[in-house]
Amino acid sequence: MACRLNLAARDFDKAAENLARAAQVRLSGEFLRQVVESEGKAIQAAAQAGRLEVDWHAGDCPALGPDGAETEQTRLYLGSDGVMVPLITQQEKDRRRAKVKDKRRRRGQKCQPLPRAKKGTEGPFKEFKIVTLYDDQADHRLVSVTSGDCQVAGRIMRRDGGRVGLDQADDKVGMVDGSEWIKNQIRQQSLPLDALGLDFYHLAENVHKARRAVYGEEDAEDQQAPGNAWAARVLHTAKHEGSAALQAELEGWHRGLKRGKKAARQLLNYVTERQEMILYPEFQAVGRQIGSGPTESMCKATTQRIKGRGKRWDTDNAEGIMALEALDQSGGWEAYWESFLTEAA
CA–CA distance, 317 with 121 (Å, rounded to integer): 13
Q: Which residues pair with 83 in a beta bridge?
A: 128
What is the β-pairing status of strands 125-134 and 70-86?
antiparallel
pLDDT of residue 344: 52
**CB contact at 8 A, 85 and 306:** yes
Q: Is residue 174 within a helix (H) or strand (E), and if so which, with residue range?
A: strand 171-176
**CB contact at 8 A, 58 and 335:** no
pLDDT of residue 153: 97
Q: What is the DSSP letter of 195?
A: E
pLDDT of residue 337: 86
pLDDT of residue 101: 84
pLDDT of residue 119: 87
**DSSP result, 252-294:** HHHHH-SS-HHHHHHHHHHHHHTGGG--HHHHHHHT-----HH
CA–CA distance, 148 with 225 (Å, rounded to integer): 45
CA–CA distance, 336 with 322 (Å, rounded to integer): 16
CA 128 to chain centre: 8
Q: Is residue 144 within a helix (H) or strand (E), and if so which, with residue range?
A: strand 141-146
- In the chain the first and final C-alpha atoms are separated, in Å, by 20
pLDDT of residue 222: 80
Q: What does the pLDDT profile of the chain (345 residues) look like in tens digits?
A: 999 999 989 999 999 999 999 999 999 999 999 999 999 999 999 988 888 889 999 999 999 999 999 999 999 999 999 999 999 999 888 888 888 888 888 888 788 888 888 888 888 999 999 999 999 999 999 999 999 999 999 999 999 999 999 999 999 999 999 999 999 999 999 999 999 999 999 999 999 999 999 999 887 778 788 899 999 999 999 999 999 999 999 999 999 998 899 999 999 999 999 999 999 999 999 999 999 999 999 999 999 999 988 899 999 999 999 999 999 999 999 989 888 766 555
Q: Which residues pair with 74 in a beta bridge?
A: 62
